[in-house]
Amino acid sequence: MFERLASTLDEIAAQVRPLLSQGRVASYIPELATVPAVRFGMAVVSVDGRVFKTGDADQPFSIQSISKLFALLLALQTEGDGVWRRVGREPSGTAFNSLVQLESEQGLPRNPFINAGALAITDILCTRFATPENALVQQLRKLSGNTALDYNLRVANSERRHSDRNAAMAHFMRSFGRMDNPVDRVLDAYCSHCAIEMSCVDLARAVLPLAHHGQLPGSEERLLSASLAKRVNALMLTCGTYDAAGDFAFRVGLPAKSGVGGGIVALIPNVCGLCVWSPGLDANGNSLAGVQALELFTTLTGRSIF
């Protein structure tokens, strides 16, 4: 696969170009709405460290919900299986920001990748860390090797000012006794996590432990057990792309996590981490060109987990 990968990536970039203007850039906060839609980057990092990339693969962008994946990994490192007392592992079947299921299931979120679940995970981190946003940034610097990455304070503040829906969820969970920290504290951290900025190359490298039995590539250090790495991959496949996870698995067939900033991180077990970025979104909130690029990738390389 790797010998022809550089040209494969370029071919993908060429093929998705007509789609770049068709998606809709997220506009729920002004700071995201200003990103130009016509951008595309893609990066692949092999488990032995080789980097392949095309387009805007080194351009930092707002990782948004992709942060939910790394917040989960950090919580799993500190809490282990205790995490599953706070969130489930099932697809929700409803919108990522719905409160309906939360009511019938007494404030226990279905999985860590819907907003309610990510707020529960952030609550865990708020208990463990004085400043969970700094802890997550440290972790991502280490995983990506990019020591300069950080969250964008202006974006974080803007998210915070538009966080009524998340505040509703957090208060709702708290009303069921499922929130240990003050809602304001949890929302501050959550919004900062969403505002972290990374490039495709950063993210493709940061997920490598999930493709490599839980180990940091090129080191003896283990981020999490091989078994847990596999399980997080399963969770990404069933719940990682909002309420289009079934269709994404059907079309792409790779564990992945998307964000409304237009990024999608994915991986092939034992082979590589991937990340694609294009800000125009489809109706489900996933990058329109990004999903298409990943589908082309699995078609052209013949690689998927199925």
Q: Name the site residues for a second copy (rule: CB under 8 A).
A: 88-94, 98-104, 110-111, 164-165, 167-172, 174-175, 183, 227, 229-231, 233-235, 237-239, 243-247, 249-251, 253, 255, 269, 299, 304-306
Nearer of residues 16 and 239 to a second copy, judged by Cβ:
239
Distances (CA, A) of 65 to 5, 98, 218: 28, 15, 28
| Helix (H/G/I), strand (E/B), else coil: 152 | coil
Please count the other Cβ atoms lying within 10 Å of the Cβ belonging to residue 299.
13
Bridge partners, residue 151, by sequence: 196
Q: Are 187 and 167 in contact (CB under 8 A)?
A: yes
25, 242, 265, 291: the active-site residue: 242
Closest among 269, 190, 208 to 234, alpha carbons compared: 269
Give CA–CA dist 124/144, Å, rounded. 23
Q: How many CA atoms lie within 13 A of 118 on its CB side?
A: 28
260, 265, 276, 291: the active-site residue: 260
Shortest reach from residue 21's CB to a second copy, in Å: 27
Shortest reach from residue 281's CB to a second copy, in Å: 18
171 φ/ψ angles, rounded to the nearest 5 degrees: -65, -35
Nearer of residues 164 and 220 to a second copy, judged by Cβ:
164
**79 annotated as ligand-binding:** no
Nearer of residues 38 and 82 to a second copy, judged by Cβ:
82
117 φ/ψ angles, rounded to the nearest 5 degrees: -65, -40
For the question of residue 207 being annotated catalytic, the response is no
**190 annotated as ligand-binding:** yes
Shortest reach from residue 213's CB to a second copy, in Å: 10
For the question of residue 151 being annotated catalytic, the response is no
For the question of residue 68 being annotated catalytic, the response is yes
Q: Are 146 and 84 in contact (CB under 8 A)?
A: no
Give CA–CA dist 71/77, Å, rounded. 10
Nearer of residues 13 and 183 to a second copy, judged by Cβ:
183
Please count the other Cβ atoms lying within 10 Å of the Cβ belonging to residue 231.
15
Kind and range of the H or E run holding 169: helix 164-175
Read off the tokens for 260. Answer: 């409304």
68, 98, 192, 278: the active-site residue: 68
- The DSSP code for 216 is P
46, 65, 92, 158: the active-site residue: 65
98, 137, 144, 190: the active-site residue: 190
Shortest reach from residue 94's CB to a second copy, in Å: 6
Nearer of residues 17 and 185 to a second copy, judged by Cβ:
185
For the question of residue 260 being annotated catalytic, the response is yes
Shortest reach from residue 149's CB to a second copy, in Å: 27
**166 annotated as ligand-binding:** yes
Residue ranges of the binding site for substrate: 65, 115, 159, 166, 190, 242, 260
Residues with active-site annotation = 65, 68, 190, 242, 260
Residue ranges of the binding site: 65, 115, 159, 166, 190, 242, 260
